[in-house]
């Protein structure tokens, strides 16, 4: 079932509340960004990014109601574990960490902030869990790690490497309401129309500033990493090696074939004018650590008009075989096979299938179709 308009409004209010809570930090030498594209991800964003003396904080805001428990490295809401939310938070922080090779991993922190009036504090794995009531206090109370110059350099590197859905925002008043979901969408479209003209002015200004300032080469390294993350397409059936990094082992991936399929259970009928495609995917972990297929992995079909089609998550069983589960652990030396289903308009001719692999700055590998 699609989220209701009320759900979108509640989400917008929740994210806006976190932005207002963070509004006091820029005056104290912190850099604050809102609504950023997730590095290497097409369909995800980062709610808030904060850079300050105590480190870099990647903040995910949630409007959860119910009984919350944080303890023994586990987060539960009404008695149910929220492991996927924790995985998403750590993946986002890992993606930002790869853009900052000059920082230690411990200086980039994942934060899950709950829209609640009462203070919340605890650690669920590597994720700091808090609420709007004590978010800023906890950020400022961490040990100091970065001096003023490092804060400026780090924020500059991130601003160059990330694609912002909005500009860095500092609300003029803590009471000022941010736009709701529809207003934010309209504002985003206006910014897109102005991007070409404004971008050239900003580029000239940035060059002038850089010419007068001695900065580390963090930003250029991050740019090189981003440009190298997409691999040229190979033929279906060919195995592609994805190098490991500190956050994932080395992997060997293959899409053996892509063809039409028919769902059996767990899914509505195929929409009129659409066609179901099943991709046979093989994952082999050749590293020394386990790797989790979850929100750090994206499967995408791209048609000849360059339109991207994400997987259809509603099928659990197909004539073509078993579907990859939403979260799956691949242990060292293990090989896992499964099917990824896509629902695509019949008139569209598929050009490539691609897999983006995280955590960290995602590496995208592609296979040609037809």
- Shared domain check, 204 and 272: no
C-alpha distances in Å from residue 330, one per residue of 242, 245, 323:
15, 16, 15
Write down which residue in 202, 225, 248 finishes a domain: 225
Q: What is the pLDDT along the chain (370 residues), one digit of tens a residue?
A: 344 455 555 656 767 888 899 999 999 999 999 888 777 666 678 889 999 999 999 999 888 888 888 887 889 999 899 988 888 888 888 888 877 766 766 678 999 999 888 888 888 888 999 999 999 999 999 888 888 888 888 888 777 767 555 444 444 344 344 444 444 544 454 455 445 444 544 554 554 444 444 344 444 444 444 444 566 888 999 999 998 876 788 999 999 988 887 655 545 566 778 888 888 999 999 998 888 877 678 888 988 888 888 887 665 556 556 777 777 788 999 999 888 888 888 888 999 999 988 776 678 889 998 6
- Asked if 248 and 357 touch (Cβ cutoff 8 Å), the reply is yes
Question: Looking at the structure, do residues 22 and 78 belong to the same domain, yes or no?
Answer: yes
Query: Residues 159, 233: one domain?
Result: no
Q: How far apart are CA 118 and CA 134, in angstroms?
A: 8
Structural domain tally of the chain? 2
Residue 285 is predicted with a pLDDT of: 93
The confidence score (pLDDT) of residue 171 equals 43
CB 363 within 8 A of CB 229: yes
Which neighbouring-strand residues pair with 49?
Answer: 33, 58
pLDDT of amino acid 91: 85
Residues 6+ apart with CB under 8 A from 266: 314, 315, 316, 317
Last residue of a domain, which of 187, 203, 225? 225
Are 77 and 68 contacting, i.e. CB atoms less than 8 angstroms apart? yes
Q: Domain residues for 81?
A: 5-225
- pLDDT for 126 equals 86
> Would you state the pLDDT for residue 320?
57
CATH number at residue 308: 2.60.40.1240
Q: Are residues 209 and 162 in the same domain?
A: yes
Report the predicted TM-score, pTM, of the whole model to 2 decimal places: 0.51
Tokens representing 275 are: 């066609």
Q: How far is residue 16's CA from residue 176's CA, in Å, rounded to a whole number?
A: 9
Give the pLDDT confidence score for residue 241 in this predicted structure. Answer: 92
Q: SS3 sequence, 17-31? A: HHHHHHHHCHHHCCE
Contacts of 66 (CB under 8 A, 6+ apart): 77, 78
Domain boundary pick from 225, 260, 289? 225
C-alpha 100/C-alpha 112 separation (Å) is 21
Handedness of CA 148, 150, 155, 156 (dihedral sign): positive
């Amino acid at each position: 079932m699609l989220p209701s308009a009320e759900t979108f409004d509640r989400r917008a209010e929740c994210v806006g509340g976190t932005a207002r809570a963070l509004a006091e930090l820029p005056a104290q030498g912190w850099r604050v960004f809102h609504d950023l594209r997730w590095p290497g991800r097409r369909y995800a964003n980062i709610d808030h990014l904060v850079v300050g003396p105590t480190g870099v904080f990647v903040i995910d805001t949630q409007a959860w109601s119910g009984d919350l428990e944080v303890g023994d490295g586990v987060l539960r809401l009404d008695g149910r574990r929220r492991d996927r939310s924790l995985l998403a938070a750590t993946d986002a922080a890992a993606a930002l960490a790869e853009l900052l090779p000059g920082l230690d991993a411990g200086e980039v922190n994942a934060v899950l902030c709950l829209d609640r009036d009462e203070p919340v504090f605890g650690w669920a794995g590597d994720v700091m869990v808090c609420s709007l009531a004590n978010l800023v206090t906890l950020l400022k109370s961490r040990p100091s790690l970065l001096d003023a110059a490092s804060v400026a350099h780090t924020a500059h590197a991130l601003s160059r490497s990330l694609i912002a859905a909005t500009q860095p925002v500092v609300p003029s008043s803590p009471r000022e309401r941010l736009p709701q979901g529809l207003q934010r969408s309209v504002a985003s479209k206006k910014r897109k129309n102005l991007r070409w003209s404004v971008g050239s002015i900003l580029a000239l200004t940035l060059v002038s500033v850089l010419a007068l300032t001695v900065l580390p080469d963090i930003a250029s390294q991050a740019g090189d990493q981003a440009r190298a993350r997409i691999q040229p397409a190979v033929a279906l059936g060919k195995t592609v090696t994805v190098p490991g990094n500190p956050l994932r082992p080395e992997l060997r991936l293959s899409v053996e074939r892509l063809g039409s399929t028919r769902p059996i259970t767990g899914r509505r009928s195929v929409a009129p004018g659409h066609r179901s495609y099943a991709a046979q995917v093989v994952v082999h972990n050749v590293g020394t650590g386990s790797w989790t297929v979850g929100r750090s992995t994206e499967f995408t079909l791209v048609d000849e008009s360059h339109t991207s089609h994400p997987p259809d998550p509603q099928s659990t069983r197909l004539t073509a075989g078993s579907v990859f589960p939403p979260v799956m652990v691949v242990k060292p030396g293990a090989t896992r096979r499964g099917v990824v289903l896509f629902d695509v308009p019949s008139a569209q001719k598929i050009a490539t299938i691609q897999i983006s692999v995280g955590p960290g700055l995602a590496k995208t590998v592609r296979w040609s179709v037809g």
